[in-house]
Structure 1
Amino acid sequence: MTLPLPARRLAAALAACGLLGTPALAAPLPVVVDKVLLQQPSVRSAQALLRAAEAQITQVRSDFLPSLGLSYRNSDARDETQGRPVDRNVRRSDASLRWNVFNGAADTHRLRSAGFTRDAADADLDSVLEQVAFEITEAYADVVRLRQTMDSLQATIARQERVEANVAQRVDAGRISSAELDLMHVRLIQSRTLLGQLRAQLGTAEYRYRLLTGEAPNDLITPGIRPAKGDADIDALVERIHERNPRLRAALQRSSARKADIGVARGSFFPAVDLSLNKRLDNNTIPVPVSDTDRAAQLQVSIDIPLGGKNLGRHTEAIERHQAAQADADDLLMKVSREITDLYRQLAETREIAPLTEQRVIAAQRVAAAYELHFEAGRRSLNDVSIAQEDLFNAQRALIENHAQQTTLQAQLLSLAGELRETLRTRYQPVFIAPELFGTTPYNPALAAAPVPVVDAPPAPEMELSPANTPKAAKPAPPINTAEEGSTASGPEQRLTAWVAAWAAGDFAAYRAFYLANFQPGKGRSTLEWENERRLRVSQAQSPAIRIDNLKLRQHTADRMSTRFTQRYSAGHYRDTVRKQIDWVKEDGQWKIAAERVLPQAGAHAAPAQTEASQ
């Protein structure tokens, strides 16, 4: 059973605070792939076949070495010599050394064939590894896609239920027909039926993920892969995949092995020349015969000339098998080429329409909200409102599926090139879709870039920390316990300086340590989403510089205070200046950030648009 979005966010926050026994955040996709890849049965099978191919090479190499034979005879017999029975005991030992000198280079070609077969098995292992890595990536993305789609549908159902309650009140008051209420019942039944179908699909996807990874799919994040420069050139991509595709490599190696088998068959047409050395080591016969060999050494050369059509048929078979293997390789090349072209075109189209899917969601949110207002004013029918809500869900679903499709298509192309595992280690990048795009409230991208909501804070008595800037009419500050560690006289100011230093250094771990473990960023975002977002902003900023001016402090209680200041931020070509307030609380004797918000500029009724880069 899948928990709703608020419940999952609460569970993630509790686990992050150590209040739950299980971790809230699952391992990133590259870690999952590396951890479970070698445990898959198909991978273990390919590894065993590779070891078998290597053992076959060892067997073939032994044919180049001579064979040593030792024999020992121990017999008791009753012979008859000149009509007289004799009990004879024979103790005899011999040694022989046999070496094949020439067999038409059949052993050489057999070794080449075994080497190509081993290379084919190695390519098969790479192919299986890439295929399993793609299956894990696909399952990971599928779980995330279905969960996000269910969250969107649940928000739509909640909105439909609110409209239904409004309609019911109007029907009870006799203002509209009861048919309008039936219409909302139909829409809700359709949505709840679809939710059940999605829940069943999610259960299947989660079960598949558990089968592949052996882990529960907890709090997965939308996966993504940064594009490489060569990915935009279809011709270069096709050429690279032709060179590196593991299945193609395996097929070509098998074709080469079958070609070497032709040389093995041709070697059977030549006479086989064997050199053998036989030597008697010991001979003891009782009673001693009249004549016997006691010590002897013999050098023998034997030539075997094959006759009949057996070898001719073997040669013909080898030729035909080579042609079949080469035809299979050519057929696979055409199939891979078609597959590459199709996947690339799909990926290019998916990337091109990605911005349009987001614009569609924003427009659908506005239409749905406007139609509800128009319905209240009697300018739109309830059917128009229902259609607008359904269009909003379809737009959100298209956005979610677009992100998932980009990841799976790109992963499949990389798998064909044999580069997926390496790319997940070097170019993996989680994708963060703005949570507001999953909601039903109209979304403004310009304002949504701000990391925290703008709050029009009421004026309050403040204390300048800089003596030179202290106003003459400033009220005295509340009493300060300077003996306490992290006192208000210096604690927050020093902590703020260290916070700025950690941010400018791009050290997210140090930056995160200044906030409470369950820090609430606002705007409906969870702590986990805020952490992932800020990790990217802090660690990837280009030469960030932060300056704090006009720092002021206000103490509320002994363990709570606020700082206000003007923040000047620059990174790369970006610049901005905002007024900000940070609320501090003392936790375990250390001042931590409990809230952070941007203040409106002086004389303005609304704060200017900010970007996430400048929290």
Structure 2
Amino acid sequence: MKTPCPAHRPILALVLALAAMATQAAPLPTVVDKVLLLQPGVRSAQALLRAAEAQITQARSDFAPTLGLSYRNTDSRDETQGNPVDRRLRRNDASLRWNIFNGAADTHRLRSAAFGRDAAEADLDNVLEQLTYEITEAYTDVVRLRQTMDSLRATLERQEQVAANVARRVEAGRIPSAELDLIHVRQIQNQALLGQLRAQLGTAEYRYRLLAGEAPEALVTPSLRTDAKAGDLDALVERIRERSPRLRAALQRSAARQADIGVARGSFFPSVDLSFSKRLDNHSNPVPVTDTDRSTQLQVSIDIPLGGKNLGRHTEAVARHQAAQADADKLLLKVSRELTDLHHQYLEASGIAPRLEQRVMAAQRVAAAYALHFEAGRRSLNDLSIAQDELFSGQRALIENRAQQITLQAQLLSLAGELREALRTRYQAAPITPELLGTEPYSPAFAAAPLPVIEAPPAPRMDLDEAATSPTATAGLPPARQIQAWATAWSAGDYTAYRSFYAEDFRPGRGRSLAGWEEERRRRLAEARSPQILIEDVQVRSTGAERVSLRFVQRYSAGHYQDVVRKQLDWARQDGRWKIVAETVLAAPAKATAEVTPEP
């Protein structure tokens, strides 16, 4: 291989850098900023906004006087006393006319135009938000279909390996040929599904190309950091009522129609005009017997409207205002219904996400175990095929859930007119962990906060007798048997089961109320994604006829966070059942071994 000369190395480095930049993932905000203003809908809304601003200029001009200049140049043949006369006339006149009263119709017309301009501006914001959502949806759809196809291809590869194994067994006469037909049926089903997904991906890529003006290359799963107020539905409804571009446009149009009523009412009043006219110059040859050479005239005229035209115009304006207000009220109800539905869907999608990840990891373990069992003759081919299809179904559900979360979140923000701002300030790439889309068993814990340390003094040192700490005594003590179930409920995120281990009068310590502790634990367990709790070195001591203390080492891991603490749980018998009445951390948590930005 020929080595490039030193002079060419900078150029080669630049080319490689540009190539690397070209293969980098295109973040969603970059795509939106690049193509949003080029959309025809945006250009149309911008043109309508300029037209609304021009209407304001027209309405303002009604307050200014009207200046008139006239020039007359005529050649005529007159007859004076029976004698024909050829006469030439050159005349210059100037006039100034100003309306000084018309029932404030001009003022209301200006207000109507201003409200119309505000409505057009809100329409532009709405178009921008809607197109941003459409781009987000198209972007997410391409990513979703590509990930689903990759998962299905991996399933087909596994089925091909199984089919080859089955074919060898059929040839050896170890299993019937029907088993080979079974695996072929599974393959054909998945190949047909792959074709459907390929067609859907082609449509999604074409839609993305129409919106973005370029091919969808190197896209990465998008995500938006959750707003702290996202869970408060009432606050979200109020925010959308205040900021929704659609509602704002409807309300501004209703206000414009109300101003039109004032315009119509102005037609009932007399119109008072002030006019000033002056003849500047007059040349007539030959001069007629009498003519005006110079003149100045000031005139006030009053026009009084008659007939039913103005009454009909007022009735029409009132009816149009009522219709516009009804449309605004109808839109408010529609947006509120959409918001409530989308909000509940988003909460359900985000709440089920940890379970879907657990489903995938469990399906990976089952598929791997069934593959080994099939090799050993302990599982049938049908069992193995079902396990492999279940793994694909779990991965597909996880991919669909991620896409559903971002599209629902984007639609909610779009309703509030906040999607563009959120993409600029809260965007983050959130690709699904590759191991979750693989076939090998994977059992990590995603980012989650550990149990908070209770700031309480360490429990007094207890001399644990040998009988209480022996395996026989520990196994026979109810709290010792429950400690693993307590850790299991915590790991599973089952708050109901977890809370059942604690007494009703449990005191959290550090001055916190029981309700505050319950709310915090409920949130922590819900946000935790597959935490792992390992209990070691359990020591038991009976502190009374109805009380027992357990000391143990707790190893907690969640994603890239780990800590090890020594903990004490005090148990008391209440109504024949053992309950935790106190919980104390005896040692400060160890510093996390690694910290990275948590997954959403």
TM-score (norm 1): 0.70
User: Partner residue of 1:98?
Assistant: 97
The change in CA–CA distance for 1:70 and 1:62 in structure 2 (over 3 A counts) is same
User: Partner residue of 1:111?
Assistant: 110
Aligned partners of 2:14, 2:348: CA distance in 1, in Å? 40
SS at structure 2 position matched to 1:48? helix
SS at structure 2 position matched to 1:196? helix
Q: Deviations over 1:215-243 (max 9, x none)?
A: 21111110000011111211101100111
User: Partner residue of 2:296?
Assistant: 297
Q: Deviations over 1:97-136 (max 9, x none)?
A: 0001111111110100000001000000000000000000
User: Partner residue of 2:388?
Assistant: 389
Contact 1:258 1:325 survives alignment (8 Å): yes
Aligned partners of 1:82, 1:447: CA distance in 2, in Å? 114
Aligned: 1:164 with 2:174: no
SS at structure 1 position matched to 2:108? helix
Cα distance, 1:89 vs. partner?
A: 1.2
Aligned partners of 1:102, 1:188: CA distance in 2, in Å? 85
Contact 2:561 2:595 survives alignment (8 Å): no
SS at structure 2 position matched to 1:231? coil
Aligned partners of 1:270, 1:334: CA distance in 2, in Å? 39
Aligned partners of 2:52, 2:45: CA distance in 1, in Å? 11
Q: Deviations over 1:264-288 (max 9, x none)?
A: 0011011111110110000111112
The change in CA–CA distance for 1:447 and 1:269 in structure 2 (over 3 A counts) is closer
The change in CA–CA distance for 1:127 and 1:15 in structure 2 (over 3 A counts) is farther
Q: Give unmatched runs, 5+ long, in structure 1.
A: 1-13, 450-571, 577-608
Q: Deviations over 1:313-333 (max 9, x none)?
A: 110000000000000000000
Aligned: 1:316 with 2:306: no
Q: How does 1:214-363 map to 2 (within 5 A)?
A: 214-363=213-362
Aligned partners of 1:49, 1:163: CA distance in 2, in Å? 63
Contact 1:112 1:260 survives alignment (8 Å): yes
The change in CA–CA distance for 1:375 and 1:123 in structure 2 (over 3 A counts) is same
User: Partner residue of 2:574?
Assistant: none
**What fraction of aligned residue pairs are identical, expressed as a percent?**
75
Cα distance, 1:432 vs. partner?
A: 2.5
Root-mean-square deviation over aligned CA pairs? 2.2
SS at structure 2 position matched to 1:165? helix
Contact 2:26 2:220 survives alignment (8 Å): no
User: Partner residue of 1:136?
Assistant: 135
Contact 2:225 2:426 survives alignment (8 Å): yes
Aligned partners of 2:169, 2:64: CA distance in 1, in Å? 98
Aligned: 1:41 with 2:40: yes
User: Partner residue of 2:177?
Assistant: 178
The change in CA–CA distance for 1:172 and 1:448 in structure 2 (over 3 A counts) is farther
User: Partner residue of 1:75?
Assistant: 74
SS at structure 2 position matched to 1:443? coil
The change in CA–CA distance for 1:446 and 1:80 in structure 2 (over 3 A counts) is closer
Contact 1:224 1:407 survives alignment (8 Å): yes
Aligned partners of 1:246, 1:447: CA distance in 2, in Å? 38
Q: Deviations over 1:405-450 (max 9, x none)?
A: 111100100000000001100000110221111111111215999x
SS at structure 2 position matched to 1:91? strand
Cα distance, 1:388 vs. partner?
A: 0.5
The residue type paired with residue 414 of structure 2 is S
User: Partner residue of 2:509?
Assistant: none
Q: Give unmatched runs, 5+ long, in structure 2.
A: 1-12, 449-559, 565-591
Q: How does 1:414-453 map to 2 (within 5 A)?
A: 414-445=413-444
Contact 1:15 1:22 survives alignment (8 Å): no
SS at structure 1 position matched to 2:282? strand
The change in CA–CA distance for 1:132 and 1:282 in structure 2 (over 3 A counts) is same
Aligned partners of 1:19, 1:426: CA distance in 2, in Å? 27
User: Partner residue of 1:201?
Assistant: 200
Aligned partners of 1:199, 1:154: CA distance in 2, in Å? 11
Contact 2:26 2:217 survives alignment (8 Å): no
The change in CA–CA distance for 1:343 and 1:16 in structure 2 (over 3 A counts) is farther
Q: How does 1:519-598 map to 2 (within 5 A)?
A: none
The change in CA–CA distance for 1:249 and 1:21 in structure 2 (over 3 A counts) is same
Aligned partners of 2:593, 2:388: CA distance in 1, in Å? 30
User: Partner residue of 2:453?
Assistant: none
Cα distance, 1:290 vs. partner?
A: 2.1
The residue type paired with residue 121 of structure 2 is D
